[in-house]
Copies of this chain bind each other. A is one copy, B any other.
């Protein structure tokens, strides 16, 4: 399974972020072709030391790296990417990788 992990850093206004994220961004992301599963953090994102600078973690799952690439390159993928500028003002780190169970 190929994953995209997105670490959204703390935005200037968490309430504004959350509203846009759930009402606009998630519906856009769910249209990405090949997306098999999509989960997000619920509540605080912690670290061994306590709180983190991360507001939300999203994970998107695709069957393969090629499916992930095609999904992001699609018009729907591009629309979701373009929407980031509308709410993720704290920045976000994206990581792309294939996975295997161990």
Residues of A within 8 A of B (CB): 1, 3, 5, 7, 22, 26, 30, 37-48, 52, 54, 57, 59, 93-102
Q: Which of B5, B48, B54 contacts A57 (CB 8 A)?
A: B5
A1 partner residues in chain B, CB cutoff 8 A: 39
A22 partner residues in chain B, CB cutoff 8 A: 102
Number of copies: 2
A57 partner residues in chain B, CB cutoff 8 A: 3, 5, 95, 97, 99
Q: Assuming A57-B5, A95-B57, A97-B57, is B47 touching A102 (CB within 8 A)?
A: no
Q: In the bound complex, do residue A95 and residue B46 qualify as a contact, i.e. CB atoms below 8 Å apart?
A: yes
Q: Which of B30, B42, B47 contacts A93 (CB 8 A)?
A: B47
A37 partner residues in chain B, CB cutoff 8 A: 101
Q: Which of B26, B43, B95 contacts A97 (CB 8 A)?
A: B43
Q: In the bound complex, do residue A41 and residue B97 qualify as a contact, i.e. CB atoms below 8 Å apart?
A: yes
Bound state CA distance, A5 and B58, in angstroms? 11
Can you name 7 A-B residue pairings with CB atoms under 8 Å? Answer: A5-B5, A22-B102, A40-B102, A45-B96, A47-B95, A47-B96, A52-B95
